[in-house]
A and B are shown apart, each in its own frame.
Chain A
């Protein structure tokens, strides 16, 4: 695979369909998520990423269980997260879970780390939200060592010390899964990603482009500062949010009740204002193509584009229709258009194969 990666990311919310009043069961939502992932592979997308939550109305509390199941039923799809909580998960458990997933999926796995913003999750897992930033740094530096060093001796503030610890299984081919750092708002995360030369994923979907531009610019500058390559070689991913019908007016009419009642922005600004100010695009496939191509104007040539398509109570049938449109009409054009004018020195998104090849070089 070369050029950009395209995929979908899911929050994993169980939300009542406002047009029918029907609420799916947790089992239905989990099975629907699997259908969405399988469909993503079928229509030629590259990535499926799941969120992680530890409270209702969300179902994905155990991402690698879900991704392991999807891995067994796919051949090509890269399995990822959006995000894996680096604060409240034990880094040792993250290392173990993703090592096993790497072996099961033959390397088709990377992960996106985030802090999580649901207050009570921290104390439920024995952590303190006020220490979220230093906790992130400590846990992540330990996670890196677990994947890279045979025997780890470690002591820190927030976890029991490790002496003579060896991660089992070792990462596939001795190569750690590629790590993205996801950020909605905070520049600290851009700095963290730049420091280690990891990927930076701007959630993008709740904010005006000016905000995303600033975060991505910061990440690119700091990536260069830390000596990982030039600013335009930094590894950038963006979120996006779309709802499509062949006819633009049909898309708006059908999506409006879902927008108006959506848990995140429902009962807030009207759809028109939200689409004007954020990347949310409700319209025809061509409108989605045009809007998505415009992201490059402020994010530069980037590596990964993930779309959110399955939230706010949309029925799975509708979501699968969205995937059909993405696969048939949108992504093939985006692949071609994003390649135009893309400098040769802009790297492809890192994959297990490319990281193994890079090590052998």
Chain B
């Protein structure tokens, strides 16, 4: 079973961003089923988390709902991330969510990137904003993203084909990567300190310090 998470940064109800996210998710699920690897999907809508995201940024305090969203991502094998294009980039809320996400949460995560916008002239937002950010976060970004302009929702043929192509690529990436190794940053940090303390004592030519005090 592949654990998929959809992050949807749509602001309105109903949002075209969520609509695109759902279509991509359905296409990915079909591809995975075809490959005998059924998927279970959880959706993280960012709008209801908006205040919590900002509180976490300002005060470091993570609300219960936001912590639950972080946990879903920590346990995911793949991420479908969809944002509206605002001012030639992702929305501030979308970026802020990933800014407060714990470090290394996306490390090694296969990600399908997608965006919506008023006009197709903004489609490179995928390549200039989303892809670099997820690369920086050590995610494995699928080569094919999906951009949907408002007019695309009136001429489904082209969009559906692009979604199928992106879903097919993402499905192959998910299968190649397999179940994601969960990282335990807490344990990693402890281990790092244990090694550092051991090497400091070994490497001290002028006599070890006395751990018993």
Interface residue from A148, A206, A222, A226 paired with B61 (Cβ < 8 Å):
A206
A154 interfacial contact with B, CB 8 Å? yes
Whole-angstrom distance between the Cβ of A147 and the nearest chain B Cβ? 10
* B-side contacts of A278, CB under 8 Å: 61
Using an 8 Å CB-CB cutoff, how does the interface string of B37-56 with A read, 1 for contact, 0 for none?
Answer: 00000000000000000110
Q: Is the CB of B204 within 8 A of A191?
A: no
B176 interfacial contact with A, CB 8 Å? no
- CB-contacts of A109-158 with B (<8 A): 133-134, 137-138, 141, 144-145, 148-149, 152-155
* A-side contacts of B209, CB under 8 Å: 141, 144-145, 148
Q: Is the CB of B61 within 8 A of A269?
A: yes
B13 interfacial contact with A, CB 8 Å? no
A274 interfacial contact with B, CB 8 Å? yes
Q: Is the CB of B211 within 8 A of A197?
A: yes
Q: Is the CB of B63 within 8 A of A267?
A: no
Closest to B196 in A: A137
A228 to B192, CA, bound (A): 21
Interface residue from A152, A197, A206, A218 paired with B60 (Cβ < 8 Å):
A206
Whole-angstrom distance between the Cβ of A278 and the nearest chain B Cβ? 7
Closest to B203 in A: A156
* A-side contacts of B192, CB under 8 Å: 133, 188
* B-side contacts of A267, CB under 8 Å: 58
A278 to B61, CA, bound (A): 9
Whole-angstrom distance between the Cβ of B49 and the nearest chain A Cβ? 13
B157 interfacial contact with A, CB 8 Å? no
A238 to B47, CA, bound (A): 36
A208 to B194, CA, bound (A): 26
| Residue among B189, B192, B193, B206 with most chain A CB within 10 A | B193
* A-side contacts of B205, CB under 8 Å: 155
- CB-contacts of B181-207 with A (<8 A): 186, 189-190, 192-194, 196-197, 200-201, 204-207
A195 interfacial contact with B, CB 8 Å? yes
A57 interfacial contact with B, CB 8 Å? no
- CB-contacts of A196-220 with B (<8 A): 196-198, 206-208, 214, 218
Whole-angstrom distance between the Cβ of A334 and the nearest chain B Cβ? 26
Interface residue from A153, A192, A208 paired with B206 (Cβ < 8 Å):
A153
Given contacts A138-B200, A191-B190, whether A155 and B63 have CB atoms under 8 Å apart is no
B210 interfacial contact with A, CB 8 Å? yes
Q: Is the CB of A141 within 8 A of B186?
A: no
- CB-contacts of A224-239 with B (<8 A): 226-228
Q: Is the CB of A155 within 8 A of B200?
A: no
A332 interfacial contact with B, CB 8 Å? no
Q: Is the CB of B193 within 8 A of A273?
A: no
* A-side contacts of B61, CB under 8 Å: 206-208, 265, 268-269, 273-274, 277-278
Whole-angstrom distance between the Cβ of B186 and the nearest chain A Cβ? 5
Whole-angstrom distance between the Cβ of B165 and the nearest chain A Cβ? 42
Q: Is the CB of A269 within 8 A of B55?
A: yes
Q: Is the CB of A268 within 8 A of B200?
A: no
- CB-contacts of B92-129 with A (<8 A): none
B213 interfacial contact with A, CB 8 Å? yes
Q: Is the CB of B194 within 8 A of A191?
A: yes
Closest to B210 in A: A148
A2 interfacial contact with B, CB 8 Å? no
A186 interfacial contact with B, CB 8 Å? yes
Closest to A198 in B: B213
A264 interfacial contact with B, CB 8 Å? yes
B59 interfacial contact with A, CB 8 Å? yes
Whole-angstrom distance between the Cβ of A78 and the nearest chain B Cβ? 19
A174 interfacial contact with B, CB 8 Å? no
Using an 8 Å CB-CB cutoff, how does the interface string of A255-289 with B read, 1 for contact, 0 for none?
Answer: 00000000011011100011001100000000000
| 30 interchain pairs, CB-CB under 8 A | A133-B193, A137-B193, A137-B196, A137-B197, A137-B200, A138-B200, A141-B200, A141-B201, A149-B207, A154-B206, A155-B205, A187-B189, A187-B193, A191-B190, A192-B193, A192-B197, A195-B194, A196-B213, A206-B59, A207-B60, A207-B61, A218-B186, A226-B211, A228-B212, A268-B55, A273-B61, A273-B63, A274-B61, A277-B64, A278-B61
Question: Which 10 residue pairs spanning A and B have beta carbons closest together?
Answer: A268-B59, A265-B59, A268-B58, A188-B193, A191-B193, A269-B55, A153-B206, A268-B55, A187-B190, A188-B189
Q: Taking A141-B204, A186-B189, A196-B211 as given, write out 15 further A-B residue pairs in contact, using a Cβ cutoff of 8 Å, ordered by the A residue number.
A: A133-B196, A144-B210, A154-B206, A188-B192, A191-B190, A195-B193, A195-B194, A206-B61, A214-B186, A218-B186, A222-B190, A268-B61, A269-B61, A273-B55, A277-B64
